[in-house]
Amino acid sequence: MNAEAIGCATPATAATAPRVLTERGQREVFCGLTGIIWLHRKIQDAFFLVVGSRTCAHLIQSAAGVMIFAEPRFATAIIDERDLAGLADANTELDRVVTQLLARRPDIKLLFLVGSCPSEVIKLDLSRAAARLSTRFSPQVRILNYSGSGIETTFTQGEDACLASWVPSLPAAPAAPPRLLVVGALADIVEDQMRRTFAEIGAGEVDFLPPRRSTEPPAVGANTRFLLAQPFLGDTARALEARGARHVPAPFPLGARGTRDWFRAAARALDLQPERVERALEPRFERAERALITYRERLAGKRLFLFPDSQLEIPLARFLAEELDAQLIEVGTPYLHRAHLAQELARLPADTNIVEGQHVERQLERCVAAAPDLVVCGLGLANPLEALGLTTKWSIELVFTPIQGFEQAADLAELFARPLLRRTRLVA
Ligand code: SF4
């Protein structure tokens, strides 16, 4: 079989679920370093030190270029060819950079050494470096490491690798009644709204991973019930399960229906009183549904093509089809975690074409031939597709924008409606 062109169809889950085509070939994705852009905003006392090349430094600088900080919370330690002379030199250099950084920045409580894909970096054992430096700087600073490499990964996996690296050192939860842990970086405003809703449904104290401050990490143990807020956290979920935590199967909190059913899943896992849960969810759900009406009018019947990029594609497709009556031509996803996405897959129209992986040329051909009303894709494909007269939405925006929860349902719909409106204006 040609490694460039594997294509096989397998059922996603249940007998009625859409079929999945697997493709392998050239891919168009950003690397995991991109995750630093939203993670450094979320964890306020963390610092991300990329151990990489000048290319990595450029990527991270230009991706974060719109943000000017007096004291940024990410940097790149450039390991260049000079360091190939000896790994001992590279380790000494890394120790020097970290020592200097921590002396200058006593506000840093958690330092992530972030690996990258240049061969000189791959040769460095960053886990040993993190252990060595942790011994030296603990308890003031905890030092962890993960890889943001772009080899065989996609950009949201940076968050997965970051959180997974943290899980083993989270404190142990005492034996107690089940307690909920929401996993996945969310904008602070979304987290606050969710906390209020959890309090109203009677869920008690709820933890979030990542926390806003690394010095207040959630405890994990056999009583932990974790609910994923993002669909790209397979390694983090595995690490939590290794600590005894139990996954709560749920859809993702996108749109009115996705959010309502996400909260309902949490309520069932905690055995909450159903009447109280519905009393708290109903007015929020109604408001979100009302806010979606105008967007449904604009998006109903619109033909959408989603390229694989953020790993949010399956829950987004469910939202677009189920809540906005959009028509899905093709839904690409870099990876398909069938267990975590089971409830989303089951709610997609049975004839949805799902493609896991990517063969970018073939996908472009299918996309152009289908002439969709809107293409959701990575930055690299947007301009060429626009030049061909297609309307595009950058999928990376969906990761940077607060889109989860009842209050954001209309904002999420607006992200898809706006490019269509812009195109109508251009054409008029
Ligand atoms: S980690 Fe690899 S893909 Fe990412 S910027 Fe650095 S060299 Fe490029």
Of 219, 251, 281, the residue at which a domain comes to its end is 281
| pLDDT category of residue 212 using cuts at 50, 70 and 90 | very high
Q: Are residues 331 and 246 in the same domain?
A: no
Q: Is residue 15 part of a domain?
A: yes
50 Cα distance to chain centroid? 19
Q: Are residues 298 and 422 in the same domain?
A: yes
Compute the distance from residue 117 Cα to the ligand 1 centre, in Å.
6
- Give the mean model confidence (pLDDT) for residues 260-275: 98
Q: Are residues 342 and 403 in the same domain?
A: yes
- Give the mean model confidence (pLDDT) for residues 373-402: 93
Q: Are residues 136 and 231 in the same domain?
A: no
Q: How many domains is the chain partitioned into structurally?
A: 3
Q: Are residues 269 and 346 in the same domain?
A: no
Tell which residue, 157, 206, 118, 162, has the closest CA to residue 30.
157
Cis geometry, peptide bond prior to residue 217 (ω within 30 degrees of 0): no
Question: How many residues would you count in the chain?
Answer: 428
Of 226, 246, 281, the residue at which a domain comes to its end is 281
402-414 pLDDT per residue, tens: 999 999 999 999 9
15, pLDDT greater than 60 = no
Instruction: Give the pLDDT of residue 428.
Output: 61
Q: Are residues 268 and 301 in the same domain?
A: no
pLDDT-above-70 percentage for the chain? 91
| pLDDT category of residue 207 using cuts at 50, 70 and 90 | very high
- Give the mean model confidence (pLDDT) for residues 336-365: 95
Q: Is residue 65 part of a domain?
A: yes
295-337 pLDDT per residue, tens: 999 999 999 999 999 999 999 999 999 999 999 999 999 999 9
Q: Which atom of ligand 1 is nearest to the CA of 32?
A: 4
pLDDT-above-90 percentage for the chain? 74
Cα 280–Cα 282–Cα 284 angle in degrees, nearest 5:
80
Residue 382 CB partners (closer than 8 Å, separation 6+): 375, 392, 394
2, pLDDT greater than 80 = no
Compute the distance from residue 57 Cα to the ligand 1 centre, in Å.
9
pTM of the entire structure?
A: 0.92
> Ligand 1, from 36, 49, 61, 116: best to mutate by most atoms within 8 Å of Cβ?
116
Compute the distance from residue 276 Cα to the ligand 1 centre, in Å.
49
Q: Is residue 309 part of a domain?
A: yes
Instruction: Give the pLDDT of residue 69.
Output: 53
Compute the distance from residue 382 Cα to the ligand 1 centre, in Å.
21
Q: Which atom of ligand 1 is nearest to the CA of 117?
A: 2
Question: What gap in Å lies between CA 328 and CA 247, rounded to an integer?
Answer: 29
Compute the distance from residue 31 Cα to the ligand 1 centre, in Å.
6
Q: Is residue 286 part of a domain?
A: no
103-141 pLDDT per residue, tens: 999 999 999 999 998 877 888 899 999 999 999 999 999
The H or E element that residue 330 is part of is: strand 327-333
Instruction: Give the pLDDT of residue 28.
Output: 74
- When comparing pLDDT for 340 and 119, which is higher? 340
Compute the distance from residue 55 Cα to the ligand 1 centre, in Å.
6
- Give the mean model confidence (pLDDT) for residues 196-222: 97
- Mean pLDDT over all residues of the chain? 90
Q: Are residues 144 and 184 in the same domain?
A: no
Domain that holds residue 415: 7-28+294-427
Compute the distance from residue 30 Cα to the ligand 1 centre, in Å.
8
Compute the distance from residue 183 Cα to the ligand 1 centre, in Å.
26
Q: Are residues 376 and 319 in the same domain?
A: yes
Compute the distance from residue 34 Cα to the ligand 1 centre, in Å.
10
Q: Are residues 214 and 339 in the same domain?
A: no
Instruction: Give the pLDDT of residue 85.
Output: 53
Highest mean predicted confidence (pLDDT) among 113-117, 149-153, 255-259, 307-311 = 255-259
Q: Which atom of ligand 1 is nearest to the CA of 52?
A: 6
Compute the distance from residue 27 Cα to the ligand 1 centre, in Å.
14
Instruction: Give the pLDDT of residue 5.
Output: 37
Atom 2 of ligand 1, residue of closest alpha carbon = 117
Q: Are residues 136 and 185 in the same domain?
A: no
> Ligand 1, from 37, 117, 146, 379: best to mutate by most atoms within 8 Å of Cβ?
117
Instruction: Give the pLDDT of residue 151.
Output: 77
Q: Is residue 171 part of a domain?
A: no
> Ligand 1, from 29, 37, 149: best to mutate by most atoms within 8 Å of Cβ?
149
6 Cα distance to chain centroid? 26
Atom 8 of ligand 1, residue of closest alpha carbon = 56
Instruction: Give the pLDDT of residue 93.
Output: 87
Q: Phi, psi at residue 209, to the nearest 5°? A: -125, 120
Q: Is residue 1 part of a domain?
A: no
Q: Is residue 165 part of a domain?
A: no
Residue 101 CB partners (closer than 8 Å, separation 6+): 47, 49, 75, 108, 111
Tell which residue, 340, 152, 349, 366, has the closest CA to residue 240.
340
Q: Tokens for 108?
A: 């840093």
Write the DSSP assignment of 200-253 as a string of letters: HHT--SEEEES-SSTTSPPPBSTTEEEEESSTT-HHHHHHHHHTT-EE-----S
Output the domain CATH number for residue 205: 3.40.50.1980
Q: Are residues 145 and 195 in the same domain?
A: no
Instruction: Give the pLDDT of residue 244.
Output: 97
Q: Is residue 167 part of a domain?
A: no
How many other C-beta atoms can be found within 10 angstroms of the C-beta atom of residue 168? Answer: 11
Pocket of ligand 1 (CB under 6 A): 31, 33, 52-53, 55-56, 59, 116-118, 148-150
Q: Which atom of ligand 1 is nearest to the CA of 116?
A: 1
Atom 5 of ligand 1, residue of closest alpha carbon = 56
Q: Are residues 319 and 209 in the same domain?
A: no
Of the listed ranges 68-82, 131-145, 329-343, 358-372, the one predicted with least confidence: 68-82
Instruction: Give the pLDDT of residue 120.
Output: 77
Of 137, 153, 169, the residue at which a domain comes to its end is 153
152, pLDDT greater than 90 = no
Atom 3 of ligand 1, residue of closest alpha carbon = 150
Q: Which atom of ligand 1 is nearest to the CA of 58?
A: 5
